[in-house]
Amino acid sequence: MTSEAQKRANEKWKAANKEKQKIYRYRSQAKKFINEFASQDDLFELRKMIDDKLNKMEE
């Protein structure tokens, strides 16, 4: 069981870190999609997208 003080601290963190929460949620959804639902074609498409993104970051 979570104490009232911990609940308040959690809510305070959530309010101050909305962008981090969004990133964590998207990352989790991406992993779930890859591990549970993606077809081989999906994985090849994602690999290409990742490679393209990495190449742009190197430039």
Rg (CA), the chain: 17
SS3 9: helix
Mean pLDDT by 10 residues, the chain (59 residues): 95 96 97 98 98 96
pLDDT at 32: 98
Tokens coding 17: 């870190």
pTM recorded for the entire structure: 0.75
pLDDT at 23: 97
Average pLDDT across the chain, whole number: 97
- For 12-25, give the DSSP string: HHHHH-HHHHHHHH
CA distances from 43 to 18, 58, 59 (A): 29, 22, 25
